[in-house]
Amino acid sequence: MMDQIINVVSNVAFPIAMCVIMTYYYHTTIEEMKKSLNTLNDTITTLNSKIDALIGGRRAGDDKRD
């Protein structure tokens, strides 16, 4: 009887526990990546604004000469 209980715990509980742990790990990793991407997006937006201010709003391909 005890061997059967140990077998059930080994075959069922461990995989379930690992799935829960992996889900938590992936969730926290994805949240950290979202924060990093948001920071990167903010930085790129700021740099684009500064570049636009420096070149007077002209971008590559906007070489329309009067």
pLDDT digits (tens), the chain, 66 positions: 778 878 877 888 888 888 989 999 999 999 999 999 999 999 999 999 999 999 886 666 665 554
- Per-residue pLDDT at 1: 79
Task: Give phi and psi for 50, each to the nearest 5.
Answer: -65, -40
Name the DSSP class of 66: -
Q: Is the pTM of this model over 0.85?
A: no
| Per-residue H/E/C for 7-63 | HHHHHHHHHHHHHHHHHHHHHHHHHHHHHHHHHHHHHHHHHHHHHHHHHCCCCCCCC
